[in-house]
Chains A and B, each alone.
Chain A
């Protein structure tokens, strides 16, 4: 009887051994799993790289876009500056006259043609044509002469196709010189038709 116990025990050990062997085989599979982890890591890295690349691309696109916007803004600013410059030129470039004359010189006509172009490009603008004189001549005569200069300019602008209602006239005679000097050049500057935007 005692021998049977031992045999059973031996059997149990054997079975246990068998089980242990089985668990050894399972250990090999675990070794294979380590490779998968590496693969996953690589994939992650690849993903990150792709993302980086995408980001870079996006950034590049954004920059390109920004550049375009900047370019457009720049263009717009430049255009606006041009418009402003044209407007400034319109306002600042006076039409000049000979002494005691309200007739338009060739230069005056050129200047007025440019002004007419601008007025046609800016159809909502209404202007005052101011007639001015140099200080020679009496106050009252110069008021009349300034009136005549403004009227002459208005009618020439009318001939160039600018509607009369957009052109008001006013004479300031010798009351508003831009150069108070007593020289010929001062007198020349003061004999003018000035365009003021209303």
Chain B
């Protein structure tokens, strides 16, 4: 009934010592066009940035335990918890309450021929996920499937094997597959967020997984460290630190523990990596004027990007690397400009308000998120480049700064003081809905930078 295609791949994760994943594709042969019934007119995929997006209900069923022992059952429950949390984290999926379920695939069977799809369409589940788990001598095998209940189709079937410590990773790899299947993008599940947090009164750079788990302290300068920025491949992190007494740029390869410091006279701030390249843009003031330059990893100036008297700061490349957006005070107040490298002419983007800064280019290239300040209200706006009409995403909820897009463009991470005036990192959907705190950590957290997803590893 189902044709099997075996596809063995090695996946070496940078944080993990040689874990080998055997990925088994159950169902291939065709590129499946999964159509979400209500929104299928113009899209093959769920448009994750659609502000009117209705969340698609997903039924996640209990996992079948192949050997039936308690350990399998426990790990299975943990895995289901991680899976549901991850799916609910997205702005476009909603896991259903199992109380409504009419059948139990853990007993009746988790494969295509064993599913009675009417049990699922009947309760409004557009998608169904079944799973099986086996634990043998500490080795976990997870068999996970995603079904389209209306079209009675298997969309994804995967087997993941590894030690128990990697269950979370395996689940997130499966989630990436789901994301790719539904949205055409690898999604957020393999991404990280770097941010600044105070610890003992000093600002250090930290990182965490997309969902706020797995928090790690990256710097220990015991100084002021700011503005983390991931390279496209997630291997490099650039940031600003006063570790040597003034604001310099630190470029770090996180795996190989090497890097460089860019310390021109004056300030060396606001780094952003050129997509897919080992080059970065940053604002330097060695000339006496704050201008944006394109630099090599070692700090050699490739070219000067801005040429105007007054502050030019906070560059952010377009996803294709052909343009750059930045803040500039050339008109008298800080406003947002876009420069096309080809035409070399800057175009002013914002005209509302007297203070617009901190631009972030959306991954689809179509929007700019930024911070606007009016009457001491600091809020996040999104400007669609086609209309030029800004949309306010935050309002009357403390100060809101530092927008950073999730790699699929479905969400924004940002800093807010809405909880008791203390800076915290929140995420919200791209439309501004569902704002929620990303993590709980002592001190104050600011300046999140969301990495790209490493789709090749999925």
Contact = CB atoms under 8 A, between A and B. Distances in A.
A147 B313 CA distance: 12
A136 B283 contact: no
Contact of A138 (B314, B376, B421): B314
A182 B378 CA distance: 13
Contact of B314 (A140, A172, A175, A182): A140
Contact of B267 (A137, A138, A147, A182): A147
B311 A151 contact: no
Contacts of A137: 334, 355, 357, 373
B106 interface: no
Contacts of A144: 267, 269-270, 283, 285, 290, 311-313
Interface in B260-306: 266-267, 269-270, 283, 285, 288, 290
B353 to A, nearest CB: 12
Interface residues of A, number: 19
Contact of A140 (B269, B376, B378, B421): B269
A171 B313 contact: no
Contact of B227 (A139, A148, A151): A139
Interface string A151-162: 100000000000
Contacts of B421: 182
B327 interface: yes
Main SS of the interface on chain B? Answer: strand
A137 B311 CA distance: 13
A190 interface: no
Nearest to B315: A140
Contacts of A175: 203, 224, 226
Contacts of B358: 138, 140-141
A141 B327 contact: yes
B224 A139 contact: no
A136 B290 CA distance: 19
B210 to A, nearest CB: 23
A118 B8 CA distance: 76
B357 A143 contact: no
Given A141-B357, A145-B311, A151-B288, A136 B376 contact: yes
B247 interface: yes
B446 A139 contact: yes
Given A100-B334, A100-B355, A136-B376, A141 B311 contact: yes
Nearest to A145: B311
Contact of A151 (B285, B333, B376, B402): B285
Contacts of A172: 224
B307 interface: no
B72 interface: no
A170 B247 CA distance: 8
B29 to A, nearest CB: 50
B345 interface: no
Interface of B: 203, 224, 226-227, 240, 245-247, 266-267, 269-270, 283, 285, 288, 290, 311-314, 327, 333-334, 354-355, 357-358, 371, 373, 376, 378, 401-402, 421, 446-447
Given A144-B311, A144-B312, A175-B224, 20 more contacts: A136-B373, A136-B378, A137-B357, A137-B373, A138-B358, A140-B314, A140-B357, A141-B311, A141-B327, A141-B334, A143-B226, A143-B269, A143-B270, A143-B313, A144-B283, A169-B266, A170-B247, A171-B267, A175-B203, A175-B226
For the complex of A and B, list the 5 residue pairs with the smallest distance between their C-beta atoms, beginning with the closest: A140-B270, A138-B358, A144-B313, A144-B311, A141-B357
Interface of A: 100, 136-141, 143-145, 147-148, 151, 169-172, 175, 182
14 contacts: A136-B373, A137-B357, A138-B402, A139-B401, A140-B270, A141-B358, A143-B267, A143-B313, A144-B270, A147-B290, A148-B290, A151-B266, A170-B247, A171-B247
